[in-house]
Structure 1
Amino acid sequence: MRLLRLWPDESHFDFMRFRRLTFPLSAVLSLATVVLFLTIGLNFGIDFKGGTLVELQAKSGTADVAAIRHTAVGFGFGEPEVQELGNQGTVLVRLPLQPGEQGQTAVMNKAHAAFDADYDFRRTETVGPRVSGELVQSGTLGVVLSVVAVLLYLWFRFERELALGAIVGTLHDIVLTVGVFIITRIEFNMTSIAAILTIVGYSLNETVVVFDRTRELMRRYKTIPTVDLLNLSINSTMSRTVMTSISSGLSLLALVLFGGEAIKGFAIVMLCGVVICTYSAIFVSTPVLIYLGLMLSGARAAAERSGVPQPAE
């Protein structure tokens, strides 16, 4: 019985020819992300900004989101965020942080006075400025340390050129993932940090698979040109890459469509992350080895310097 193949076993597709297009594209997207981060910034949630979160459940089973938002604006505490969770009459209301304990008490008093008649208060959370500041610090530190650990692993896992290529790919994926948060305005909270770390792991997995095959082929073929070697590495692992990406993407798509509002943002970012990591492993981290001067052997280097063409094996 023949196994399902989503990519031909004997494929010789020339992926490396697209590097002249994908490198400028990735550079533009990365620079645009940095500019947007410095100008627009992330849409920080209550975890990082501080404030009051109230989860309301409509007694009638149907919530009037527009009326809730209009009422919350009338509190005079700043611009509220109102989000309906699914279609079960559940609504999240986020109100900006107010100074002092009396300010937070005034928020809850007005909320109860306005919504007690039609809604049940299922959950109430208040995050003060000190707590939110500690969360920002600990979250940032956690991401930085995790990324540094991954980069150190890549440095000791591969030869110098392969390690640098993997590092470039991983950083590229992190930057573009942050760009997804900025463009979509998905709330950035502690769950978002988990999404970024998960994407780092997925990126690492994709890159290691391709580069392991690259290293294996380097030892097997001593005179094959670099471009042919890298194309062979990607083609030989492409079936696995396609299968992994499609299975992961379908699972995340199901979460986006049917998982509810509570995890929809996380699922959207993860789905974009799978696309970014797959693209990066094929069109960024692998082609960059050409410019990093990947050398297979002294004989190969001498042959290239002499201009003698070497057949692809």
Structure 2
Amino acid sequence: MKLLKLVPDDTNIDFMKWRKIAFGISLALMIASVVLVGVRGLNFGVDFVGGQMIRVTFTQTAEAPVAKLRDTVGALGYGSPSIQRFGAPNEVSIRMRLPKEAEGQTGAAATMTNAIVGSIQKDYPGARVDGVDSVSGKVSDELFQKGTIALLAAMVAIAIYIWVRFEWQFGVGGLAALAHDVTLTFGFFALTQLEFDLNIIAALLTIIGYSLNDTIVVYDRIRENLKKYRKMEIGELINLSINETLSRTVMTSLTMVIVLVAMLLLGPETIFGFTAAMTLGIVVGTYSSIYWGAPILVWLKVGPDSFVPVGDKPGAPGRDREGYTR
């Protein structure tokens, strides 16, 4: 039986032909994302703005009625709660951000907590409150700062790694691709106003790792071909490298997207934001590896000589850093 191939072996797509158009579209989307974040802002969750976390055990049932509980708490008018199973199937964690109009008011958090607990115990007799924790504004600010530092540190460390592993032009291209992916993800959350919490920071760090992996695969093939085809024009060589790795890229991205879409449609609401960020990140990460990371090498004048150091004398034979005779 003949094996199914999503990408034929003789694929020869001229990706570089559209690099200027793709770059313009991406740049416009990045600018729009920055504007959206500046104008609309992000819908920060309890982790970043402060609020209450209430832990409840439903002693009368084997499982907590999460869906009905979400409706019960949401009907109180304090906003949409974030409810997750916490430990056993009948234990949940309810996280509520303090309404903006109540921020700074003494006793506002206690009033909201009492209303939520009272409503739960009224509708679900026997429900036991195991604890109430407050996330202060100071703690939430610290979490946001540390999350931002983690993102920036990861991006810089990755750029340095690519620089050392290849050449500085590759480091610039890799960092630009990561900035593209993260910026569009921020723009998506500013547009949709989905809750932005620590789960999304985790998704962003995962996206950075995936995008790096995909970019490294393309870069590694480009480097191999730079040594193999010394006289090939760089745009043609990049096209060849992308086409040679396209099957791997498509299969990896497609299998991940299938799983993530299933989680979006069938998964719990508590991880919807995380799953949405991951889905978008996989798509834009795959795109940026082809239309950001690779074309930048053309504009930075990468060529076969990038891996051939100057010898003792002009024209003298020597070896590059990988041991290939030039």
- Shorter-normalised TM range: 0.7 to 0.9
Aligned pair partner of 1:195 in 200, 203, 206: 203
Aligned pair partner of 2:279 in 271, 275, 279: 271
Q: Give SS of 1:199's match.
A: helix
Matched, 1:109 2:111: no
- The residue that corresponds to 1:305 in the other structure is none
- The residue that corresponds to 1:306 in the other structure is none
Report the Cα offset of residue 268 of structure 1: 1.1
- The residue that corresponds to 1:118 in the other structure is 123
Instruction: Give the alignment of 1:81-230 within 5 angstroms.
Output: 81-82=80-81, 92=94, 94-96=96-98, 99=104, 102-119=107-124, 120=127, 124-230=132-238
1:85/1:260 contact within 8 Å kept: no
Q: TM-score, normalised by structure 1?
A: 0.83
Taking every aligned residue pair, what percent have the same amino acid on both sides?
Answer: 36
After TM superposition, what 4+ stretches of structure 1 lie above 6 angstroms from structure 2?
A: 55-60
- The residue that corresponds to 1:32 in the other structure is 32
2 CA distance for matches of 1:212 and 1:93? 45
1 CA distance for matches of 2:148 and 2:199? 13
- 5+ residue gaps, structure 2, are 307-326
1:218/1:296 contact within 8 Å kept: yes
Matched, 1:249 2:286: no
Residue type of the alignment partner of 2:206: T
Residue type of the alignment partner of 1:213: R
Residue type of the alignment partner of 2:141: G
Residue 205 to residue 249, structure 1, CA distance change in 2 (3 Å): same
Residue type of the alignment partner of 2:259: S
Residue 126 to residue 91, structure 1, CA distance change in 2 (3 Å): closer
2:50/2:97 contact within 8 Å kept: no
Residue type of the alignment partner of 1:94: M
Residue 40 to residue 109, structure 1, CA distance change in 2 (3 Å): same
Ranked by relative contact order (alpha carbons within 8 Å, sequence separation 6 or more), the top structure is 1
Matched, 1:63 2:63: no
1 CA distance for matches of 2:233 and 2:8? 22
CA offsets per residue over residues 155-176 of structure 1, 9 Å max, x none? Answer: 2121132222222112111111
Matched, 1:80 2:82: no
Q: Please, which moves more after superposition, 259-268 or 156-165?
A: 156-165
- The residue that corresponds to 1:22 in the other structure is 22
Residue 84 to residue 288, structure 1, CA distance change in 2 (3 Å): same
2 CA distance for matches of 1:95 and 1:210? 43
Superposed CA RMSD: 2.8
Residue type of the alignment partner of 2:299: Y
Residue 121 to residue 96, structure 1, CA distance change in 2 (3 Å): farther
1:65/1:91 contact within 8 Å kept: no
2:50/2:135 contact within 8 Å kept: yes
How many matched pairs?
290
CA offsets per residue over residues 174-231 of structure 1, 9 Å max, x none? Answer: 1112122222222111111110000000010010000100000000001111111011
- The residue that corresponds to 1:12 in the other structure is 12
Q: Please, which moves more after superposition, 124-133 or 59-68?
A: 59-68
Q: TM-score, normalised by structure 2?
A: 0.79
